[in-house]
Structures are given as structure tokens and as C-alpha cells.
Amino acid sequence: MKEAFIKFENVNLTYDLYLDKTNNLKEYVINKLTNRRPVSKVMEKVAALKNINIEFRHGDRIGIIGRNGAGKSTMLKVISGIYKPSSGKLTVSGNIQPLIEIGAGFDPEFTGRENIYLNGYMLGFTKEQIRLKENEIIEFTELGEFIDVPVKYYSSGMAVRLAFTIATSIEPEILAFDEMLAAGDIEFIQKAKLRMDSLITKAKMLIIVSHDLGMIKSLCTKVLVFHQGQICFIGTPDEAIEFYVNRGYDK
Amino acid sequence: MQIVDGIITEFKDAWRFRYVINSFVSTKLKQRYRRSFLGYFWTILAPFSHYAIIGFVMSNISRSSMPNYFVYMFSGSVFFSVIAGVINGAPMYLIANEHFIKKIYLPKIIFVLNTVALEFVNFSLTAISLVLLGMITKLIHFSIAFLYLPIPILFGMLLLIGLGCVISIASVYFRDLIHILPAVMQAAFFLTPILYSIDMIPTKYHKFILMNPIYYLIECFRIPIVQGDFPPLPFTLALIGMSLFIFLFGMILLKKYDNKIAFRL
Ligand SMILES: Nc1ncnc2c1ncn2[C@@H]1O[C@H](COP(=O)(O)OP(=O)(O)OP(=O)(O)O)[C@@H](O)[C@H]1O
Ligand SMILES: [Mg+2]
């Protein structure tokens, strides 16, 4: 059996933040012809991950916490291949579900059922595999007749139910989630937590990003605190949460 | 060689996600055809009716003496309309899929293949219906040269995949391309011999037409249908050469900008 393994070596990720709104050909040509440089600053670099060095091993249950804009989501996106590191080396072994954010693989024009298939394919399933899970998924979401209605007519909670159920119906080796359950109702969240538990016991590695410290505490064995693009604390959930709550990164 | 490797990896990756394309195309087709009773006929008529109307008017004004003018004009227009459809739609291939690109890992080529595949499935349905219709009305006669038709279609797809990559990437940087391209394509429609034939224009302008890849694509599609002949070899070679060149260019550009697109969207 392949071991799940992730290793960051001096990984940096810098976003190019384009401040100019003049991204059109007309102005580009005029600027070239008149030899004029655009007046405002065109681009700003945002260093979202700075020199990250860390290893996640088989069996790790990682939680990532930190303030808004600390770089948590970026970290997951780099792991799942959505963004390539600007520099440094990242090694990922073990299959990872490429969907880290709820509803990421949805086409709003497609019905719920069509989205089950589309999403399933995006996650690497074959048609037969999805067909086997289709009924279970529809049942778990309790969407009833809405399953054949385009997703754009769903309430955000309904979309979350469907997205969550699809995302958790695959059993990848590496499970990575960003802010899972923000819009579900209480009843669904409880149901979802049970489902998560069984999924998590099967996964070889778990990485979750959440502001729900209770959830982090109950699911993770190791927690990273992010601050301004760096990992500023690694420890047990209790230590890390205490560090985070007491704003240890300010000291 | 590194480039070739890159392209092969991109396609291997796309192959892994082939069912995504499959599901996209079949769902879109279902949506188009199911939504109305006339859906099927509508999809056949809508894309090129624009060009057909122009052609109809033109043929009456100019009283063309060309034999089989109607078939000539129709087969050219219908192929041009798929080309124009892809080119005019290409600016949105990446932009409209921002929510996928930023949230889930998918090879970018998927977004180009999705739409090119959809357009060509549609096109094939249209072309088959029209050829059948032409044969029933005795305007077209079956010929062994029909076997040649997959060549312009296949290389047309390659060319449009390449162009689709170039345009969709360029549009991420130049958002106004979407407004510029339809005018360009409208001009291209009149500059390509579709309503007229190349020998109806002065020889000194021929060299411009011979530089236009769309011309070869359309000729190679039209000759077998209209004349029942195989196109001359130089046409086939020009078609293959130009298509491969544009395809490779598009793929190289895609590789080069692959990691930058997500930031610029
Ligand atoms: N697509 C983008 N383009 C430019 N900058 C971005 C982009 N996405 C994120 N950033 C910037 O990168 C930094 C880290 O963002 P990230 O989304 O990783 O934060 P986060 O820790 O997930 O925050 P939150 O808790 O709010 O979800 C922020 O400063 C943000 O402004
Ligand atoms: Mg986030």
C-alpha cells in the first residue's frame, strides 16, 4: 500500500495582484503607439506563503488555523495543484481529492443529478462508480425532487448539502477540506459530522482548514497556526488553540 | 523536446479527465435538444442562418452563374459558422470558468476541448443533415470523395483547439477581445471565398487568400461535396501544415501561461 506523504521545501507562493483595470487591447495599443506608460502601478505582489518547510506523513490529522488572509486556503490550493509554487519544491504522493472547497466543481446550469456526474468525473470517478453511489448521494442530501432542478435555483444550504455529499462520497487517500459546512442547517451538520468521521477514519491523511476551533479540536491530532504566510506554531490542538487565542504570534 | 513532453503530459492529463468533457458535451447537447420540440432543428438552423441569409441575398443580387451555387454557398457557410462560433466564443473559455480554475484542479486544455468538442458534434449533426437533405433534393450526389471529409474536420478541430488556446489566453489579458473578434470574423467571412469563388476576383489579390488558413479548411470541405472530387494535394498539405502549426503554437502558449492564468483571472 502506498504511503500518503506531503513535503514542502522552501515553498513560496506569490500572487500577482493586478491593480490596473485597463486590461484591454485598445488601451494597450494606444499606450504602445503614444509610448506612454500606464500611470498607476500595474501590479503588486502578495506573498501568501513564505518559505514553508513542513512534512505531513501517513496517519497525520492536520488542522490549519489562523486569521483571515493568513494563507490557509492558499496552502491547500498549492497541495491540490490548483496553484503551482512560485519557488521551492513540493512533493505529494497519494491520491488527493482535488476539490477542497465546497461546490467548487459545480456548474450552476446543470441539474443536481448532472452535477453529481460532472463532479464525480472531476474527482476521477468512472460512470459506473458514480452510478453505484448516485442513489446513496441523493438520499443523503434529502433533496428529493430538487435533484433534477438546475443548481442555480438551490438555496445555498441545499447546494452545500449536495456538494458536501459528493465530496465525501469518494474515499481519497489524502483528504483536504477548506471551511466545510458553513451553510448547512443544524440537522445536516450533525449528519455530516458523522459522515465525516467515517470518512476520516478511512483516509490516510486529513488536512482541514477551519475557523471552527471545536471541530479542529475534535478531528485533528496536530495543528498549525498560520500568520502572514508563515507557520508560526505547530503543536497539539490544545497548545495551538491556546497560542492562537492568546495571539501568540504577536509576541 | 521539452515542449513536446509538456504537450504530451497535458494531453495525458486531459485524457484522465476525458469524462468531464464527455459529461459537459452530452449535458449541453441534451439541454439544447430537450428544451424545445423544435430544439434539434433550431440548433441546425441557428448557427448558420445568419450566413445563409447573407448568401441568399447575395446570390439573388449577383445572379451568380456558378453551377450548384446554392450547395457551394451552403457548405462554405456551414463550415465557416463553426469556425466563427469557436473563435467568437473562445474569449470566454477561461474567463467563464474562473470558478473552476481557482477552486479545483483541472488541466486548462479541458476548457478549450469542451467547447471545441461541443461545436464539432453540433457541426457534424448539421453537416450530416444537410448532406442528406441535399441528396434527397438531388442537389448533391454521393461520391467516394465524401470519405475525404473527416480530414478537414479533424484538422479543423486541431486548428481551432490551437486558436482556442491562443484567444482564450489572450482574452484573460485583453478583455475587450470579445467585442473585437465578431467584427474580425464578419470581415473574414467576406474576405474568404464563401459566397464567391477565388476565380471571381483579380489574380493580384490571390496571394492574400492563399495566406488564409480558413480558405484551405473550407476548400477541402467543400470540394468533395460540391464537385465530388478529392481536393488537390497542395491544398491538403497546406491545410495540414497550417493546422499543425497553429495547434502547436496554441499548446506552447498554454504551457507557458498555464500557471499565470489563475492569478490574472
Ligand atoms: N487570487 C488571489 N489573487 C491575489 N491575492 C490573493 C488571491 N487569493 C488570496 N490572495 C491573498 O493571499 C493572502 C492569503 O489568502 P488566503 O485565501 O490563503 O487566506 P486564508 O488564510 O484562507 O483566509 P480566510 O481565513 O479568510 O479564508 C491574502 O492576503 C489574500 O489577499
Ligand atoms: Mg480561506
Q: What is the ipTM of this complex?
A: 0.80
Q: Which of A235-244, B13-22, B61-70 bottoms out in mean pLDDT, i.e. has the lowest?
A: B61-70
Q: What is the distance in angstroms between the Cα of A25 and the nearest Cα belonging to chain B?
A: 5
Query: For B141-177, how does the pLDDT look when each residue is reduced to its tens digit (9 = 90+)?
Result: 888 999 999 999 999 999 999 999 999 999 998 888 9
The answer to whether A63 faces chain B, any CB pair under 8 Å, is no
Answer whether B81's CB lies under 8 Å from B162's CB.
no
pLDDT reported for residue A72: 93
A45 touches chain B (CB under 8 A): no
Q: Is the CB of A70 under 6 A from ligand 1?
A: yes
- Any ligand 1 atom below 6 A from CB of A64: no
Q: How many domains does one find in chain B?
A: 1
Nearest-Cα residue of chain A relative to residue B31: A110
Burial of residue A190, with CB atoms counted within 10 A of its CB: 0-12 exposed, 13-18 middle, 19 or more buried: exposed
- What confidence tens digit (pLDDT) does each residue in A138-168 have? 998 899 999 999 999 998 888 888 888 887 8
Model confidence pTM above 0.95: no
Boundaries of domain holding B156: 2-264
Residue A134 at interface with chain B, using a CB cutoff of 8 Å:
no
Q: For residue range B62-111, what is the model confidence (pLDDT) as tens digits?
A: 666 677 787 888 888 889 989 999 999 999 999 998 888 888 888 899 99
- Return mean pLDDT, chain B: 86
B202 Cβ neighbours under 8 A, 6+ residues apart:
none
Poorest-confidence range of A115-129, A225-239, B167-181?
A115-129
The closest alpha carbon to B22, from B159, B153, B124, B117, belongs to: B117
Distance between Cα A41 and ligand 1 center (Å): 21
Q: What is the pLDDT of residue A171?
A: 74
Cα(A11)–Cα(B102) distance, rounded to whole angstroms? 19
Please state, for a pLDDT cut of 90, what percent of chain A lies above it. Answer: 35
Q: Is the pLDDT of residue B35 over 80?
A: no
> In Å, how far are A1, A104, A143, A206, A219 from A197, measured between CA atoms?
22, 22, 22, 11, 8
How far apart CA A204 and CA A217 sit, in angstroms, is: 18
Nearest CA to ligand 1 atom 25: A68
Confidence category of residue B44, pLDDT binned at 50, 70, 90: low
* Confidence check: pLDDT of B52 > 90: no
Domain boundaries, chain A: 5-10+54-246
Question: Could you report the per-residue pLDDT of A27-81, keeping only the tens digit for each?
Answer: 778 877 887 665 555 667 889 999 999 999 988 899 999 999 999 999 999 998 8
CATH no., domain A5-10+54-246: 3.40.50.300
Protein residue with least CA distance to atom 7, ligand 1: A15
Quick check: CB of A66 below 6 Å from ligand 1?
yes
- Which of A118, A125, A134, A209 should we substitute to test contact with B (largest number of B Cβ atoms within 10 Å)? A118
Average confidence (pLDDT) over A237-251: 86
A8 Cα: distance to centroid of ligand 2 (angstroms): 19
